[in-house]
Amino acid sequence: MIPGGPTAMTPPPSVPLAYLAAAAIGLFGFGFVAWFAGDKLVTVPNHPAAVSAVHMGVLAFLSVAVLGALHQFGPVVSNKRLRSVMAGRFTMVAMVAAGWLLPNGFAHGPEWMILAGGVSGAAAALVAAWNLSGPLSSRTGGVPILGLRISVTYLVLTVAFGVVYVLNRQAAWFPLLPNRVLAHAHLGLLGWLGLTYVSVAEKLWPMFLLAHRPGARSGKVAVVALGSGTLPLALGLLFSVAWLAMVGGALALVGLGAHLVSLASSVKHRRRPLEMLHAYLAASTLYLVIGIGFGVAAGFADVDTGTRMILVGVEVGALIAWLSLAVAGHAHKIVPFIQYTMLRSRGVDRHPSGRPLLFGDLYRKAPARATLVLLTVGFGLILAGMLTGSVPLAAFGGGSLGISGIVIGLNLAFGPRLAAGGPTPEPATAGRQA
């Protein structure tokens, strides 16, 4: 569980842990695809191979990880159960299927893989929205619950957008608008994944830092502004309505800026020392700032179409880096908390050395630092490759991301075995639901 929440409300630990394990494999797949698509990422960012790499990162890695966190976090913060544990397991299988079918279909076909991935993703989004509507219907929970209601709505909208595109590839009912990929990317990265993270952070940051902030207004502004701005931004981009895109973009910028203010306030008023999580957050914040900068440049710079495409590609890549580093950093907190509860439920409360077992014993610090370096450098190389036209830089960056998926997966999977001196016990009753 996440500390501070009622364990009786959470699903079995195998539910969120399965999502996060699948996400680690998705991160490896993301790096692998980015490695082989390095030439297209650099030269033609909207090429099917580049689109394949982005979908692998956004679906197989980020969406799977974020959905897993929501299935744990929603019941904790709302004190209400999921509607169905079985539905939670189905959502994982369906989203993982979509995360692997769609990228492979875009990269090399056959076409049925794209259709199957779209249908699977739609099923995952709809079942997740229904299942999470239980905890998200709570009248308690404040800003995080409000933001998650909006972000899950964006999940459904993002998937619906993608399904329409997938079906149109088969039927060609209407001419596809030129900015559809750009609009789709912003809808998913800002409305679904970005808003989810911004909302969850308002609970996790004060908790992990023991931060007693004088107020949480910046967090409210972040959730409301980002939630309000993403849709008009996406619609303005889709239909080439400049004023609408500018209004939506301005609101999104206010929301992301308030998000950064909230982080600064949490750090300033902390009662615990900074730790590895905050190194991840520092790198994540750097990429968010880079993404904002290139997004503004793409919107206002007087450049040719090819250069604008590169600027937008770097913006999208930086936003993916922002979320990836944040997810990886928080995984080093959330996964050990869940595993600690599993161990304690079987009476394992001592380290092999004899001292009391701690959360930090459930993963190794050196691999965690290596993951941070691999992710930070990997994304940096990809963005540098896109800016300079260097295919080797982008390819090496993708390889770095792929290795990071292996390192984080093995570290979080085998940490408990080493800390407990044997196989990780299965929980007996902790967190079980009917």
The confidence band for 354, taking pLDDT boundaries of 50, 70 and 90, is: low
Task: List the structure tokens of 281.
Answer: 């957050």
The dihedral sign for the CA sequence 85, 328, 233, 168? negative
Dihedrals phi, psi of 422, to nearest 5 degrees:
180, -170
23-27, 193-197, 348-352, 395-399: least confident range: 348-352
Residue 74: count of CB within 10 angstroms of its CB: 29
Q: Residue 199: which of 144, 281, 133, 241 has the closest Cα?
A: 144
Domains: count for the chain: 1
d(C-alpha 193, C-alpha 155), whole Å = 8
Convert the pLDDT of each residue in 264-294 to its tens digit: 998 888 888 888 888 999 999 999 999 999 9
Q: How far is it, in rounded angstroms, from Cα 359 to Cα 405?
A: 21
Give the pLDDT confidence score for residue 175 in this predicted structure: 63
Q: Find the mean pLDDT for residues 145-157.
A: 95
| Token pair recorded at residue 377 | 């450098």
Q: Is the pLDDT of residue 218 over 60?
A: yes
Confirm if 278 and 332 have CB atoms less than 8 A apart. no
User: What is the amino acid identity at position 119?
Assistant: V
Q: Among all chains, which residue has been given the structure tokens 């990809």?
A: 382
Tell me, yes or no, whether 19 lies in a domain.
yes
- Mean pLDDT estimate for the chain: 88
Q: Over 90: is that where the pLDDT of 393 sits?
A: yes
Is residue 172 very low, low, confident or very high in pLDDT (cuts 50, 70, 90)? low
Backbone angles phi, psi at 350, to 5 degrees: -130, 140
At position 326, the amino acid (one-letter code) is: A
- Residue 170 counted as domain residue: yes
Supply the pLDDT for residue 177. Answer: 64
Kindly state whether residue 374 falls inside one of the protein's structural domains.
yes
Q: In this structure, is residue 358 part of a structural domain? A: no
Bigger pLDDT: 82 vs 417: 82
Instruction: Give me the sign of the Cα torsion angle 386, 387, 393, 397.
Output: negative
- pLDDT at residue 5 tops 50: no
Tell me the C-alpha distance between 405 and 253, whole Å. Answer: 30
In a domain, 389, yes or no: yes
In angstroms, what CA-CA distances link 329 with 147, 203, 275, 336, 419? Answer: 21, 15, 10, 12, 20
- Note whether 22 and 64 are within 8 A (CB): yes
What per-residue confidence (pLDDT) applies to 35?
94
**Which segment of 1-15, 159-173, 296-310 scores lowest on mean pLDDT?**
1-15
pLDDT digits (tens, 9 = 90+) for 50-109: 889 999 999 999 999 999 999 999 998 888 999 999 999 999 999 999 999 999 998 887
List residues bridging with 350 in a β-sheet: 356
Q: What is the signed CA dihedral for 145, 224, 179, 381, rounded to 10 degrees?
A: -80
Q: How far apart are CA 314 and CA 31, in angstroms?
A: 16
Q: What is the pLDDT of residue 427?
A: 43
What does the chain come to in residues? 434
Residue 355 belongs to some domain of the structure: no
pLDDT number for residue 4:
42
DSSP string, 404-425: HHHHHHHHHHHHHHHHHTSSPP
pLDDT at 42 over 60: yes
Least confident among 40-49, 263-272, 304-313: 40-49
Count of other CB atoms within 10 angstroms of residue 289: 14
Q: Mapping DSSP to helix (H, G, I), strand (E, B) and coil, where does residue 350 land?
A: strand
Model confidence at 165, pLDDT cuts 50, 70, 90, reads confident
Domain of 335 in residue numbering reads as 7-343+366-417
Secondary structure (3-state) at 310? helix
Q: Compute the distance between CA of residue 346 and CA of residue 429 in angstroms, rounded to an integer.
A: 9
Count of Cβ atoms closer than 10 Å to residue 241 Cβ: 14
Q: Give a yes or no: residue 261 inside a domain.
A: yes
Give the span between the Cα atoms of 361 and 411, in whole angstroms: 11
State in Å, rounded, how far the first CA of the chain is from the last one: 17
Which residue shows structure tokens 């079985």? Answer: 86
Categorize the per-residue pLDDT at 116 as very low, low, confident or very high, splitting at 50, 70 and 90: very high
Q: Is 349 inside any structural domain?
A: no
Token pair belonging to 330: 């928080």
24, two tokens:
């680690």
Q: Strand ranges (DSSP E) for 27-131?
A: none
pLDDT confidence band for 143 (50 / 70 / 90): confident
Q: List the CATH number of the domain containing 381.
A: 1.20.210.10
Answer whether 120's CB lies under 8 Å from 101's CB: yes
